[in-house]
Structure 1
Amino acid sequence: MIKAAAQFVVGAIQEEFGHPSSLVKLIANEPGLNKPLVEYEKGISSEEVVKWHEFGNLSYERSRPSKGSLNGFGYCLGAHRNYGGVSVRRDDLLNLGTTREVERWECDIQDVAGFSASKSELHLFKSMDAMVEKNSKEMIDEITPEKLAENLAWDEIRIISRVDHDFFQTFSWDGRVFLMNSGGSHHFAASKYIAKRLNTEVPLSGRYRVHGINRVALESLTRDFEIFVMSSHHTHQMGFHRAMQSFKATYYWKNLPRPYTEQCAVFLPKAERKSAKVAEILHASAFQDLGCYLKDISTR
């Protein structure tokens, strides 16, 4: 008991003089706090692509009254130990995503790599060819112009049979072109399969959306904050909060886009000495730098 009390006193003195001893101890005792992003191998579903352009305005956060704000904890006069909830308005975060739209974009059927909808489990397949070979062999049983025409005539391929219905979409960090469809995936995939083997072009046209990351907004964010990825598990977050409270350092946090529901983003203001010290510790402990990660994928 005496030893524990002595360690507590030493830790308190260290924190008073600018060393976040509680945080250092937490990192040593809770390795699960450091939980970097993992880029999973993807199938041909657009839903598998991480929607980084929505990071600043996630749909499951839009009901909150603090839209466009970062929420966290820091010096708050009158709160317990003068440490409580704080928020800061950040329009750069709200504007982090970009969307460019081309009304009449042209491509060939071979340029399309995936779908938004299908009766097949799109995430199980690495290509359209693999999907149609497994689930729709009858659509590719003849490699002939007639079979190609038969598949292309399927009414549910609405990028062909309708105007302003289905559309194309790309996420710049992913690079692939998806057909955002409401049907016809197997006939479309079969058409692509046959056309490739016949060496026949199938021109397509339609609306095209390209989602990206606003580099100016990202530069603004990373100028003012060090941004890290860590576990969002409640025990890890409670431990981190207590360590930050003990050190009296400001931090903000935010959810990440799906599928990263087990992680969160932590924003540490560079202008605040104690927060900057925490960032130094997290860098030294190899926590993932989300700002660097986003800069990297924004140039892909």
Structure 2
Amino acid sequence: MRLNTPKSKIFDDSRRRWDILDNLDRSNFALRSRFPVSSWGAKEAFQSPHGSLVQVTMAPHFECDASDIEGISSSKSADMPHESVDVFGAYYIDEQNRYARKGKPPLGLDDASLKELCSHDQIRLLHESGSDTFSVRAWDGRLFLDNSGGSHHLAGAVHVAKRIGARIPLASKLYLYQFNHLTVQWLLDGFHLVLLPKDLARQMLWSVKSLVGSGSNMEFPPVLAEGTLLAFPRGSQIAECVMAELLSQGHHDMGNDLREALTAQQRFLAESTTPLSARV
């Protein structure tokens, strides 16, 4: 059992959505038991004293060129493994020309084709200011368009614009998602974190509680993993033995994923003297 492997390279499932583990109100993050257990352990939760797992900040005005976009949240082609927005755009133009109705001029690498692609009303940032937004998850580092349509036309426009040296200026809100370092460190320092298949999680929670004294589980949303996170406190010899046994059985230490994501975030923030902040 591992975190899910993304099906795409540029669409929403290609970024780890750690942020959806938080409560909607971004209150203190809790490892909350979701399975019914006996009264001695019912609804046990370990709650961070440091706030949410992920913190979100919003810049009300962010400017970029469409060619800066590295990911698109919503698309009817989200199951296709395009390597980049540019490659996605080339694919779309080829498909449009292949199936174009008789007499319709083909899309080409020229100003007229760029104008036609940009005229599509589903590219909302060109026609309905502020309706779509941008986001960056700092552990991922890519600039995403969080859109409600128009992915094909936008990608096609990006492909053409790059070839003819044109710009497509865009502006909207930007949401920056960052791990709350204190909460992540609280998790890593205080708990063993192991990802289990759902059908195994309940019985393992009972076993861990009886051996270690406390534990909690958290069913993951499918976008992250088809499994359940089991958490139990570090610090005792029996806890170390339990974790060693779980790992020897091939179960996954999710603490490693969090460490890697936190390191990636720190690298992104250090390297971003930022192109992002310069355009806000």
Q: Structure 1 length normalisation: TM-score?
A: 0.71
Cα distance, 1:265–1:130 mapped onto 2, change above 3 Å: farther
1:268 and 2:232 correspond:
yes
- The match for 1:145 among 111, 116, 119 is 111
Letter in 2 for 1:243: S
Aligned mates of 1:192, 1:146 — CA distance in 2: 14
Deviation of the 1:273 alpha carbon? 4.5
Specify every segment of 5 or more residues in structure 1 that has no aligned partner in the other structure, as ranges: 1-34
Q: How does 1:197-208 map to 2 (within 5 A)?
A: 197-208=163-174
- Cα contact 1:170–1:177 (8 A) shared by 2: yes
Aligned to 1:224: 190
Q: 56, 79, 85: which is aligned to 2:42?
A: 85
Residue type at the aligned position of 2:31: L
Question: 1:269–1:276: 8 Å Cα contact kept in structure 2?
Answer: no
When residues 220 and 244 of structure 1 are mapped into structure 2, their CA distance, relative to the original with a 3 A threshold, is closer
Query: Distance between the aligned counterparts of 2:74 and 2:224, measured in 1?
Result: 22
Residue 250 of structure 1 and its aligned partner are, at CA, apart by 2.3
- Give the % identical residues: 23
SS of 1:159's equivalent in the other structure is helix
Query: Could you list the per-position Cα deviations for residues 120-170 of structure 1 after superposition, in whole angstroms to 9, with x for gaps in the alignment?
Result: 322214142254135433696221122212322333321122222111122
Answer yes or no: is the 8 Å Cα contact 1:125–1:131 preserved in 2.
Answer: no
Shift of 1:217: 1.0
Task: Tell me the SS of whatever aligns to 1:192.
Answer: helix
Q: 1:169 to 1:86 in 2, by over 3 A?
A: closer
> In the TM superposition, what is the alpha-carbon distance from 1:97 to its structure 2 partner?
1.0
Which one is further off, 193-202 or 136-145?
136-145
Say if 2:39 is the partner of 1:97: no
SS for the counterpart of 1:223 is helix
> Matches of 2:189 and 2:6 in 1, distance apart?
29
The one-letter code sitting in structure 2 at the alignment partner of 1:237 is A
State which of 15, 31, 52 in structure 2 corresponds to 1:70: 31
- Conservation of the 8 A alpha-carbon contact between 1:143 and 1:194: yes
Q: Does structure 1 conserve the Cα–Cα contact (< 8 Å) formed by 2:2 and 2:225?
A: no
* Aligned residue number for residue 30 of structure 1: none
Larger radius of gyration: 1
**Cα offset for 1:268?**
1.3
Quick one: distance in 1 between partners of 2:55 and 2:165? 36
CA distance in 1 between counterparts of 2:111 and 2:137 reads 33
Q: Which residue of 1 aligns with 2:277?
A: none
SS of match in other structure, 2:167: coil
Query: Shift of residue 225 of structure 1?
Result: 0.9
Shift of 1:272: 4.5
Moved more, 100-109 or 139-148: 139-148
User: Using the alignment, how far apart are the partners of 1:198 and 1:226 within structure 2?
Assistant: 54
Instruction: Give the letter for the 1:262 counterpart.
Output: E
Matched residue, 2:223: 259
2:171 partner amino acid: S
**Matched length:** 252
**1:96 Cα deviation (Å)?**
0.4
* SS in structure 1 at match of 2:79: helix
Report the equivalent of 2:276: none
SS of alignment partner, residue 166 of structure 2 = coil
The within-5 A match list for 1:261-300 is 261-300=225-264
Is 2:196–2:228's contact at 8 Å kept on the other side of the alignment? yes
Aligned with residue 78 of structure 2, among 111, 122, 136:
122
Amino acid at match of 2:186: S
Q: Which residue, 131, 135, 143 being the options, matches 1:177?
A: 143
Contact residue 250 and residue 274 of structure 1 kept, 8 A: no
Question: What is aligned with 2:178?
Answer: 212
**Structure that is richer in helix per residue:** 1
C-alpha displacement of 1:202: 2.3
